[in-house]
Amino acid sequence: MARVAYGDENSSPAVKALADQIRSERDGRMLNLYSMLLNAPPVAEGWLALFTAIRQQCTLRGDYRELVILRVALLNGAAYEYQAHIPFALREGVTQTQIDALERWENSPALTPAQRAVLAYTDSMTREIHVPDAVFDALRGYFNKREIVELTATIGSYNLVSRFLEALAVDPEQAHA
Report pLDDT digits (tens) over 2-54: 999 999 999 999 999 999 999 998 888 899 999 999 999 999 999 999 999 99
Q: 70: helix, coil or strand?
A: helix
Neighbours of 39 (CB within 10 A): 16
Question: What's the pLDDT at 176?
Answer: 45
Domains of the chain, residue spans: 1-57, 62-167
Report pLDDT digits (tens) over 58-107: 999 999 999 999 999 999 999 999 999 999 999 999 999 999 999 999 99
Full-model pTM:
0.94
pLDDT at residue 175 tops 60: no
The CATH number of 62-167 is: 1.20.1290.10
Q: Residue 104 contacts by C-beta under 8 Å, 6 or more apart in sequence?
A: none
